[in-house]
Amino acid sequence: MSDIKMVEAPEGHSGAGFFATSFDKVIGMARANSLWPLPFATSCCGIEFMATMGSHYDISRFGSERPSFSPRQADLLMVMGTIAKKMGPIVKQVYEQMAEPRWVIAVGACASSGGIFDTYSVLQGIDRVVPVDVYVPGCPPRPEQILEGLMQIQELARNESLRRRNSEEYQLLLSSYNIK
């Protein structure tokens, strides 16, 4: 027998032949275990992510079997590497082309804060152009750290209310970035 681990069922009521729980929990569970990342890799952190995709660290274990190299169907924008000011609008465009619900990870010091490149040509953190959910520290972060960041996103996705994206607060956040 293989030792495949199954996701635990969410809390709910079970009886003979039925199981009742809330939509939030079921959909959250499904989203969290089928995240499709869109890797936006510009430099060394991207190489580290390739190691994360490889068989040893195997990001596929988290339901991220197929990294989507297109905004179509992608849930999770992973920005890894230095983003120059010239690249900023492209990052924003990719984010705008993704459908809701969508999450963003800034991997590594450069994407999070500009890193060591405190200079006129480098964007000092991608949160200046798109909202960010999880920041992964490190220069570059090890694959374990990237997996930890992904697990944090899973946690967010699992516990997110279905109406969060329609909330006033979320609309305000997006409009502060001039998105939509």
Partner 1 sequence: MTHQEIIEDLTGRYGDNIFDIHEPYGLLTLTTKRENIIDLLQYLYNHKTLQIQFLTDLCGIHYPDNIGNELGVIYHVHSLINNIRIRIKVFFPLTDPEIPTATGLYATANWMERETYDFFGIIFKGHPNLKRILNVDEMDYFPMRKEYPLEDQTRRDKQDFHFGR
Q: What is the spatial distance between Cα 124 and Cα 110, in angstroms, rounded to a whole number?
A: 8
Burial of 82 (0-12, 13-18, 19+ CB in 10 A): buried
Q: Which one, 64 or 112, has the nearer CB to partner 1? A: 112
Burial of 20 (0-12, 13-18, 19+ CB in 10 A): exposed
- Write down the least CB distance from residue 31 to partner 1, Å: 31
116 binds partner 1 (CB under 8 A): yes
Residue 150 tokens, joined: 């992904």
Scanning 35-43, 71-79, 114-122, 164-172 for contacts with partner 1 by CB under 8 A, the matching segment is: 114-122
Total number of residues that touch partner 1 (CB under 8 A): 12
118 binds partner 1 (CB under 8 A): yes
Mask 61-100, x = binds partner 1 (CB under 8 A)? Answer: ------------------------xx--------------
